[in-house]
Amino acid sequence: MSCLKTTVGIIAALLAVRANATPNTPFALKNVTSLEVSPKRIGLEGRRDAQQIVVTGMVNGEPRDLTDKAQFETTKQGVVRIQNGRVEALQDGKGDIVIRVGGLVARLPFTASYYSKRYPVSFETETLAILTKQGCSTGSCHGSPHGKGGFSLSLFGYDPRIDRVSLTRDGYNRRINAIEPLESLMIKKPLLAVPHVGGKRLRKSDVGFRVLRDWIAEGASTEISTLHCESIALTPSTSRVLEGEFKTQQLRVTAQFSDGKARDITPIATYTTSHPAVAEVTPDGKIIAKERGQTAISVRYLDKFESLYITVVEPVKGFVWRPVIENSAIDKKVNQKLRQLKYLPAEVCGDSEFLRRLSLDLTGLLPTAETTLRFLKDTSPNKRAKEIDSLLESEEYARFWALKRADLMRVSPRQLTEARASRFSAWLVDSVRKNMPYDQFAHAILTAQGAEAQAPSANYFLGIRTPEERTEMTAQIFMGTRVECTKCHNHPFENWTMRDYYRIAAVFARTKAGDGRVTLASVGEVLHPTTGEKMSPYGSPLSSPEPVDRREGFAHWLTAPANPLFARVEVNRIWADLLGRGIVEPIDDFRSSNPPSNAPLLDYLAQEFVTSGYNRKHTIRLICNSQTYQRSTQSNAFNVQDNTLFSHAKPRLLTAEQLKDAIGMATHTLPSPTLSPQRVEEAKAELTAHHNALDRLLPLWLAQAEEAAQRLPIRQGAWRIRQASPVSDPQRALKEAGVANLPALDATSLWIRRPDYLEQTQNTLPSAESSSNEGHSLTTMARRIFSDRPRSIKIRWSAELARLWLNGAPLSSDPIQGEREIALPLRGGENTLHVLVATPPDRPAFQYSLKPPFNSTMVGADKERPLTAAIVEALMVPVSSRTSEQAQELREFYQADGESNAIRQRVASLEARMDYATQRPYPELSSFTATFGQPQRDTACTCERRGAPTLLQALELLNGQTAYQRAQEGVGYYSKRDNSALIEELYLAAFCRYPVMKERVAALKFLSERSNNREQAVMDLLWAVINTQEFLFQH
């Protein structure tokens, strides 16, 4: 994988000889025990070649940069010049550089050759690198899509062809003046010799000035060379700590080129720091510590990108590390980092705080007052661990954690249908409930195939259709990587390129989704938008033969234990869900320029995740049992500034779903969802009782219905449809079809009953039923129509190609194409309408309407419900000859009255837990939840869920319907209790604790002063409690 750290430092330990320490050696340097010098030999070619030396010494067991403390001498005078560790040639020759520091000496051999040979500046590898380094081609300057001031460059030089035209052709050729290089706009503008909106970007002392000037003077050649950079390497290559006297770190950057040569590019590479307050980096690649903290120093050269993590440690006055309880390896890693950066962890939180926090984190819900009391009274030492285990086994956990996943997978009726969203959601809940190993989970999603009704994970592809969208979503969810930048240009802060993007897209190019199913096509490619190259799918070796399912290779690559992102991204998500902040933050923005706040912690969690078999519950259990998770929100003087190292818990505004349910549960207007199974059973029993009562009246209803059916002027029976058969020449097949070929209506074995077709006057025969995949198909349909007397009605239909017969007589002599309306002369009594229709694949076969629409009738208590055609047909059969199927159908129809449906809906809603925002299968998107940042599920970015408080939220809480109504409804329950019990139970339900004296007094006073209007007073108290900061936040 291209963004992996492949850097290998070219470090050679040279023989260090201890010489006599000079008397003025600084104290720290006396402890230098060994010296390493990079590179191990220097070869300079031509006069512009130069090399950076990095001198590293081991001081008290820590590697320290000694470059700016070392003295450099050469054994051969006048051949090279050394400044700040940078070696430049003065003439041809060879010798040794002698490096002295802290009483140690090292020797570095060098050669300088071809001093008088000219090496022209290379447009692609030098000029473009300088345009990036000076900031010209960044996204906020000329690298933006429309450029700036009419001058447009490709972002960080990703497309030299654009830059060639911009530099040498556009702007009336004034940008380059080869005769007088210093008159070129490319020089005068950044020097601010003429006005430049971007300000001063270049100084005459810069390396960039020399490169640009020489390149122009040499004729500004823009030849696109075959030489390209394959990789870059940093020295040092691993993270460093800067502290005490060692506050700087010199970098050496080399580029490996396709001609096999490595060149020192230290002065023309571009340096950035992720946390400028912690450390900055000079244009020469020297890192300078500023203040305590961690930062990533990133180095860009053309399209290559590498980073180095720097930790800056400073003394903190009065800081003394105090050993604390460590429950697990998590605590050890967290405390190590805290100790190194001199922060003290907070105390462990109390039981009330713990229970509320844990319950909200694992189930999204507040614990009930009873649960809280039980927990507070429990005196066993492992009660926290027991509670963690018990909540992890709950249905509420499965649903709440599936919701987090569903947010990312766009499980919403907006993207899918309600039914599909429910099925996908149920699948996600089940995967959490069964604790499906996460690699299997990813595999099941990414290789889903078939009808979503059977394989609900296929909805992943039904919600997002294009290979590009699938690329971005998959990368963001499973790789924690935002690749969308690379759709149009190489990633500005990472090694991801456009090629990577379109190679992932190629993985999904043959995955077709539609009509509720995912299928694999045998063709379909993704082309690189600028080069037109056919992209080979990511994760599969380039040479391998075309696989059956391209996604398999990708899923295999993704879920392999060696994948550096897959496990880390998921444990980081879990960590962020529980601690309120990722170790990498934002949690879906993994890149080397965005360092984890505690890399050993992330590595440990990922390792543990992989070895446990991608067991998410195991990871959650590990974290929840740690002291780190159980820390108080109360800070101390030595951790109050810390926001990233988990020294204390972070209060978090409840999410939209948590808040909505919490308001319901605290006001006692939303029963605990643990009661849901019981409530489902109760509702089902109610339905059975209702049906039993109805059954007693069934004979009466049947008699009424039969009579009513007889009174209908026109009745129609159900369609009988013969399964489609493919034909090669539909015109001819239809022409040749005669009445004789039409099977009789009673030949039941050939016919499928489809009573559900007939309820509307407009009927469509869906294509899935009527067509095969190849060519046209032929479907035969027939239905009986009863009329009380001879009459003519109109039939209007539309079909690709169809023929109709009434009572065996054709209604037209030839097959009819398209739309047609004709008269249908019915005789009194029974008629038969035959239809023969030919349809191409994937089209609706036959749509028709009858004018006037058929009458229907209503009987029984349930006057709102008309008899359906199928029911009418069943009623027309005398009781004695009714099949048991028909009898059952009549009974079911009769029983499906308004009340049954209402109870059924109640059962369904209880089973789906629709009343619980944290538990339901898809978001309700009410104005309340939208105000509190519930995502619309339009993107795979967790940033869609907005956390920062807004004014509209404050208005909604203080003055919104939800808080108002819940408080009003809660009065019924709470006002029955005496004041003291009321306050106590309310506090247990809202905060998992008893009220403190001050609160008790205030609430009692409020209630007793308003005893003349107690209901209103209780309502106001409920309202006040759910508006407190303690309620609104998780802590």
Partner 1 sequence: MHKIELPRRNFIGLGLGSALQAMFPEYAFAAERAALSGRAKRVIVIFEQGGVSHTDTWDPKPDAPLEHRSPFKTIATGVDGFYVTELLTETARLAKHLTVVRCMTQPTPGIGNSHPKGSQYVYSGESPDGPVEMPDIGSVVADRLGSSTPYLPANILLPGTDEQADTSRIGFLPPAFSTFKTGGSPANPTWRVANLGLLMGIDEKRFLNRRDLLSSLDVGFSHAGQPKDVEAMRALMNQATDMLTNPKTRRAFDLSAEPSSVRERYGMGHRGQCYLLGRKLIESGVRYVTVDVREPENSFRDGKQVSYPGGGNMNWDHHDAIYSTSHTNIPNGGAGAGRYGIGTWPMMGSLDRAFSALIEDLSRSGLLEDTLVCLVSEFGRTPRINERQGRDHWTHAFSYIFAGAGVPGGQVVGSTDRDGGYITSSMAYTLEDYAATIYEKLGIDRSKPLHTPTNRPIFLAAKGKPIPELF
Residues 548-567 that bind partner 1 (CB under 8 A): none
Residues facing 72 on adjacent strands: 99
Q: Kindly tell me which residue out of 640, 747, 809, 858 binds partner 1, with binding defined by CB under 8 A.
A: 640
Two structure tokens written together for 866: 């008309």
Neighbour tally for 967: CB within 10 Å = 24
Q: How many residues bind partner 1 (CB under 8 A)?
A: 68
Which residue type sits at 723?
Q
Would you count residue 1021 as binding partner 1 (CB under 8 A)?
A: yes
Residues facing 471 on adjacent strands: none
Phi–psi pair at 293, nearest 5 degrees: 150, -170
Residues 784-843 that bind partner 1 (CB under 8 A): none
Residues 247-276 that bind partner 1 (CB under 8 A): none
Shortest distance (Å) from residue 638 CB to partner 1:
12
Would you count residue 413 as binding partner 1 (CB under 8 A)?
A: no
Specify the long-range contacts of residues 559-562, CB closer than 8 Å, at least 24 apart.
Answer: 559/439, 559/442, 559/443, 559/614, 561/610
- H-run or E-run covering 234: strand 229-235
Would you count residue 158 as binding partner 1 (CB under 8 A)?
A: no
Which residue type sits at 353?
E
Nearer to partner 1, 554 or 1023 (CB): 1023
Nearer to partner 1, 61 or 145 (CB): 145
CA nearest to 949, candidates 653, 706, 710: 653
Q: Tokens 């779903």 — which residue?
A: 657
Nearer to partner 1, 633 or 895 (CB): 633
CB 826 within 8 Å of CB 834: no
Would you count residue 956 as binding partner 1 (CB under 8 A)?
A: yes
Would you count residue 957 as binding partner 1 (CB under 8 A)?
A: yes
Strand pairing of 286-289 and 279-281? antiparallel
Stretch that binds partner 1, among 384-392, 461-469, 519-527, 1026-1034 (CB under 8 A): 1026-1034
Q: How far apart are CA 515 and CA 399, in angstroms?
A: 28
Would you count residue 933 as binding partner 1 (CB under 8 A)?
A: yes
Two structure tokens written together for 616: 């998410």
Would you count residue 586 as binding partner 1 (CB under 8 A)?
A: yes
Q: How far apart are CA 205 and CA 208, in angstroms?
A: 8
Give residues with Cβ within 8 angstroms of 377, minimum separation 6.
Answer: none
Q: How far apart are CA 671 and CA 655, in angstroms?
A: 20
Q: Kindly tell me which residue out of 286, 551, 648, 776 binds partner 1, with binding defined by CB under 8 A.
A: 648
Neighbour tally for 729: CB within 10 Å = 12
CA nearest to 101, candidates 245, 219, 213: 245
Stretch that binds partner 1, among 177-185, 673-681, 775-783, 947-955 (CB under 8 A): 947-955
Give residues with Cβ within 8 angstroms of 1013, minimum separation 6.
Answer: none
Would you count residue 376 as binding partner 1 (CB under 8 A)?
A: no
- H-run or E-run covering 163: helix 160-168
Phi–psi pair at 548, nearest 5 degrees: -65, -45
Residues 171-210 that bind partner 1 (CB under 8 A): 197
The distance from CA 379 to its chain's CA centroid, rounded to whole angstroms, is 42
Stretch that binds partner 1, among 354-362, 370-378, 794-802, 999-1007 (CB under 8 A): 999-1007
Nearer to partner 1, 262 or 925 (CB): 925
Shortest distance (Å) from residue 162 CB to partner 1:
17
Nearer to partner 1, 65 or 589 (CB): 589
Give residues with Cβ within 8 angstroms of 392, minimum separation 6.
Answer: 362, 617, 620, 621
Shortest distance (Å) from residue 127 CB to partner 1:
24
Residues 474-533 that bind partner 1 (CB under 8 A): 482, 484-485, 487-488, 493
Stretch that binds partner 1, among 245-253, 383-391, 396-404, 1015-1023 (CB under 8 A): 1015-1023
Nearer to partner 1, 863 or 998 (CB): 998
Radius of gyration of the chain (CA): 38
Would you count residue 953 as binding partner 1 (CB under 8 A)?
A: yes
Q: Kindly tell me which residue out of 379, 998, 1011, 1012 binds partner 1, with binding defined by CB under 8 A.
A: 998
Nearer to partner 1, 785 or 963 (CB): 963
Stretch that binds partner 1, among 84-92, 168-176, 364-372, 651-659 (CB under 8 A): 651-659
Q: Kindly tell me which residue out of 374, 512, 556, 650 binds partner 1, with binding defined by CB under 8 A.
A: 650
Nearer to partner 1, 687 or 963 (CB): 963
Shortest distance (Å) from residue 944 CB to partner 1:
10
Report the SS3 class of residue 874. helix
CA-to-CA separations, 901 to 678, 695, 704, 895, 981, in angstroms, rounded? 20, 16, 22, 9, 41
Would you count residue 971 as binding partner 1 (CB under 8 A)?
A: no
CB 232 within 8 Å of CB 52: no
Would you count residue 37 as binding partner 1 (CB under 8 A)?
A: no
Nearer to partner 1, 321 or 1033 (CB): 1033
Would you count residue 35 as binding partner 1 (CB under 8 A)?
A: no
Would you count residue 950 as binding partner 1 (CB under 8 A)?
A: yes
Site string for partner 1, 978-997 (x = CB under 8 A): -------------x-x-xx-
Would you count residue 644 as binding partner 1 (CB under 8 A)?
A: no
Site string for partner 1, 62-101 (x = CB under 8 A): ----------------------------------------
Shortest distance (Å) from residue 503 CB to partner 1:
20
Q: Kindly tell me which residue out of 115, 557, 973, 1006 binds partner 1, with binding defined by CB under 8 A.
A: 1006
Shortest distance (Å) from residue 634 CB to partner 1:
6
Give residues with Cβ within 8 angstroms of 412, minimum separation 6.
Answer: 421, 463, 922, 923, 936, 937
Shortest distance (Å) from residue 960 CB to partner 1:
6
Would you count residue 334 as binding partner 1 (CB under 8 A)?
A: no
Q: How far apart are CA 259 and CA 271, in angstroms?
A: 25
Which residue type sits at 497?
T
CA-to-CA separations, 768 to 514, 542, 719, 773, 839, in angstroms, rounded? 12, 38, 17, 9, 11
Shortest distance (Å) from residue 276 CB to partner 1:
12
Q: Kindly tell me which residue out of 25, 949, 977, 1014 binds partner 1, with binding defined by CB under 8 A.
A: 949
CB 462 within 8 Å of CB 513: yes
CA nearest to 911, candidates 682, 669, 586, 598: 682
Residues 340-359 that bind partner 1 (CB under 8 A): 346
Q: How far apart are CA 199 and CA 140, in angstroms?
A: 13
Would you count residue 653 as binding partner 1 (CB under 8 A)?
A: yes
Alpha helices in 409-536 (DSSP H): 418-433, 438-446, 459-463, 467-478, 498-507
The distance from CA 367 to its chain's CA centroid, rounded to whole angstroms, is 29
Residues 125-144 that bind partner 1 (CB under 8 A): 139-140, 144
Would you count residue 1032 as binding partner 1 (CB under 8 A)?
A: yes
Q: Which residues bind partner 1 (CB under 8 A)?
A: 139-140, 144-146, 197, 346, 482, 484-485, 487-488, 493, 586, 589, 633-635, 639-640, 648-653, 933, 941, 943, 946-961, 964, 991, 993, 995-996, 998-999, 1002-1003, 1006, 1016, 1020-1021, 1023-1025, 1027-1030, 1032-1033, 1035
